[in-house]
A and B are shown apart, each in its own frame.
Chain A
């Protein structure tokens, strides 16, 4: 299977021809991984060669993270083979993968702030001295050598927490090298780095290549893929859609592979009935997360916010909702200046926010359904300072039945409901506040197709009733299928505002990735 794929590029240059002949250091063959209700990976294959950088490309949710977890032994595939040097292996634990020489540098570094650089590098495999005690001097010496090898000027005795983010990354890389890795997985390593640091990272990748390591490089940024990768593999919706040599492919072709798909989802037909302007945001700024955000929103409109993870969409929405404070910028609601200092202010002004991480930010699982629904509306359900349970139940019944929530009783703890039903409780909670503007952050993330359609249907209904909807989504079909207008954010700024014919998968990806 692997060789088949590599044969797809007949006019490969001679040095690559060697690679084809060579056995991949690590490969996946027909790997499938399912979670209850979701197929994360479907018969995917991937091959990594010594001294080569393979770029793994795909949209959010394409299955990239799952592959990393399988390669590092955190997940086990349901079927298919993992092979090291052509021999089938089984990674039952992360330790097995490390022993086989597979190491990963994660997007968010998993290191220990209170330990020294050397201790971080050698945690779990520190050099031992007499009596089996850790030989601190040897550890520091070896750490110094590894750090020097990657050109990092870091004191091995410094505490990790005193290092900047770029140096922490270098420590993570040094850790990866300390185990004598043969395969290095880099999961969006440049996401948090400045341009200068990125250049240094490229140099390091070249160095690793020269040492004969096989590198899996996961990135959303096409410029860097074309700069450092030798091969590419594209995933879409958990399936392999193409792979080959970077030299034989164009940016446009990669984008097409990434987003081109059968339209399997059907979105509700909406009669677009856009009314008066209800929200105007001018020059919203945050010291670190975003800058220069200006846009307007009309009644009955669905405005999509698209961007890569880390583009600052959720951070901006949280500022708009009063959870964080912007450093500059104004908001007008219904043409009157509005000051939003807290979520309570936002709710009072008619803005509600259904957050992305519902487990963490949405439902209170230890409270019953009706108390979750009425939580932001307690002012309306109480009289003379006392809550009226009958009124709470009435409100909860009204809004949960509109979402056809299925539960034995409104007295059931939310923790006992399924994910889809918890989602409905959270949405019911916000609708019960009778908002004018509703912000939905990744409204269908992690829920099954059927529930997705129901959420889309419902979103269309909200807009038809005159609500203004802001939908933050990383799923291109959803953005295109639901939005009247799309704002694309990149690196904390608005990269483009698109409507009508200009809304196409290719333009979205281009603006989001900055190409």
Chain B
């Protein structure tokens, strides 16, 4: 994706978000007060983390449907760890959450890479397996606020320079992955492997291994989001964040990530997540029924895909012409 295209895509989305905020503000001015916007951003932080991971997976022509189950399983594991060892420092818990999530992601990645099972099948399976493991671990019981240590619960809410730590973590992840995607060989490999797997193979890129790393990153971010989610809402249970994986995919699609792979940006994924975050926060405030919330999110997805498709159609025609010439 060239710089011009990239900028226009993200500018368009930023414009859409500003427009959305304007419409909401016209009915409910308090929504765009800085304090509320900070809250909205903070609420959206886990979605941003997951959308970044999902974006990378989709780039490589895969999909990860297990992210929400990974989040819930990792959340349950760290919550139980906290119950068993209340003295364990939060940085250690975060490191464990990232590692555990990454291991779950690697499991997906190995199945896709070594056994060449279609990613949608692999992650549909692991999604169910992860939920099952939570049930086995917790025996179906909830872990509630009073069982968790204060440090465990306080960390993501701690305010630093006007923003809660959870928001800082999301911003940090965005910054980190902007660098990874644009300035490392691995980042370039994600784009190449999804953009044209054959050409990437010829260029010496191992497409399967690249996909493995994409799943690992997605898993690590899910694990991190798992800790944040459980500590913020101070609860862990089997059905935590059930169905959230589809919101994550939706955020990517709205953020301009091509569902066929090869094209997408970290900023796009973040903006897509924010768009959905604003809708889900604003609609209850302006007293619109949850049905409209779903309908608006759904329409946004279809509009985003339609815009993507029309942008790509021109290229398709050129290829067709060339194919005819070649014969």
Q: State the A residues within 8 Å of B (CB).
A: 35-38, 40, 65-66, 69, 321, 323, 342-344, 346-348, 353, 355, 357, 359-368, 371, 375-376, 378-379, 382, 385-387, 389, 411-413, 415-416, 419, 429, 445-446
Contacts and interface: CB of A to CB of B under 8 A. Distances in A.
Contacts of B2: 368, 411-413
A378 B321 contact: no
A375 B191 CA distance: 10
Interface residues of B, number: 37
Given A343-B201, A375-B192, A387-B183, A415 B318 contact: yes
B27 interface: no
A66 B327 contact: yes
A436 to B, nearest CB: 16
A36 B199 contact: no
B195 A365 contact: yes
A364 B3 contact: no
B203 A376 contact: yes
A378 B185 contact: yes
Contacts of A366: 1, 191, 195-196, 258, 262-263
A323 B199 CA distance: 11
Nearest to B318: A415
Given A361-B202, A415-B315, A37 B195 contact: no
A342 B206 contact: yes
Contacts of B179: 386
A367 B195 contact: yes
30 contacts: A40-B327, A65-B327, A69-B327, A343-B203, A344-B206, A353-B202, A355-B202, A359-B322, A359-B323, A360-B198, A360-B199, A361-B199, A364-B195, A365-B195, A366-B195, A366-B258, A366-B262, A367-B191, A367-B192, A368-B2, A371-B191, A375-B200, A376-B203, A376-B204, A385-B184, A387-B183, A389-B183, A411-B2, A411-B4, A419-B322
- A355, A375, A429: most-surrounded residue (chain B CB, <10 A): A375
A480 to B, nearest CB: 23
Interface in B90-136: none
B198 A361 contact: yes
A362 B202 contact: yes
Grouping DSSP codes into helix (H, G, I), strand (E, B) and loop, the A interface class, with mixed when no group exceeds half, is mixed
Nearest to A38: B325
Contact of B325 (A348, A371, A446): A446
Nearest to B325: A35
Contacts of B160: none
A512 to B, nearest CB: 21
Given A343-B202, A375-B192, A446-B325, 14 more contacts: A35-B324, A342-B206, A343-B203, A343-B204, A346-B204, A347-B203, A359-B323, A360-B198, A366-B195, A375-B200, A375-B205, A385-B184, A389-B183, A413-B2
Which 5 A/B pairs are nearest by Cβ-Cβ distance? A344-B204, A364-B195, A446-B326, A361-B198, A376-B203
Contacts of A389: 183
B188 interface: yes
B325 A382 contact: no
Interface in B292-327: 315, 318-319, 321-327
B5 interface: yes
A387 B187 CA distance: 10
Contacts of A347: 203-204
Contacts of A364: 191-192, 195-196, 199-200, 262
